[in-house]
Amino acid sequence: MKTSGSAPPFLLIGYGNSLRGDDAAGYRLALDMEKEALPDLRCIAVHQLTPELAADLAAARHVFFADARPTQPQAPDLVIEAVTTESPNSVASHGCSPQALLQLAKTLYHTCPSAQIIGIIAHDFRLGESMTESTRHAINAARDWIRNTVTGHA
C-alpha cells in the first residue's frame, strides 16, 4: 500500500467462500495479487461484498471485482465484463452486488469509478480448501491479466 496518503488508482476486490473449494477463486486472487505489491494496485480479499466497501471504491479510479463463476459448457475459463450502476444485478451471487456498491459510492461520495467483474471458472463448491487445477489455472490467467492492465502492458 502507498504511504503517500493517496490511494492507488486500481482496486481489486476478490470475494468468495474460502472453505468451499473453487468458490474461493476471487478471494485467493486478491491474496495472490497483494503479495505482488504492485504500487498502483490495492487488494482486498473478503468473503462477501458489504456496503462498507463503498468508501474503498470511491477512492479508486478503477475497480476489479473478482468472483468464482460456475462452469458452463463451452464457457471460457475467464470472463471479464464491464460493470456499471446500470448493469443487471444478476452478475454477483454474494450479498451486496458490485452494481449496488458502485451506486452506493456514487450516492454517498459523489464519485463512481469504472469497474470490471472478473469471473473465474469454478467446478467444485464442496466443503474444503482445495481447488481444482482448472480453477487454479484460471486464477493465474486473471493474475496475469490484472498485472498487465495495471502496469499498462495489456
Question: What does the pLDDT profile of the chain (154 residues) look like in tens digits?
Answer: 333 457 899 999 999 999 999 999 999 999 999 999 999 999 999 999 999 999 999 999 999 999 999 887 777 888 999 998 876 553 344 468 999 999 999 999 999 999 999 999 999 999 999 999 999 999 999 999 999 999 998 6
The secondary structure of 61-94 as a DSSP string is: SEEEEEEEEE--TT--SEEEEE--TTS-GGG--S
pTM: 0.89
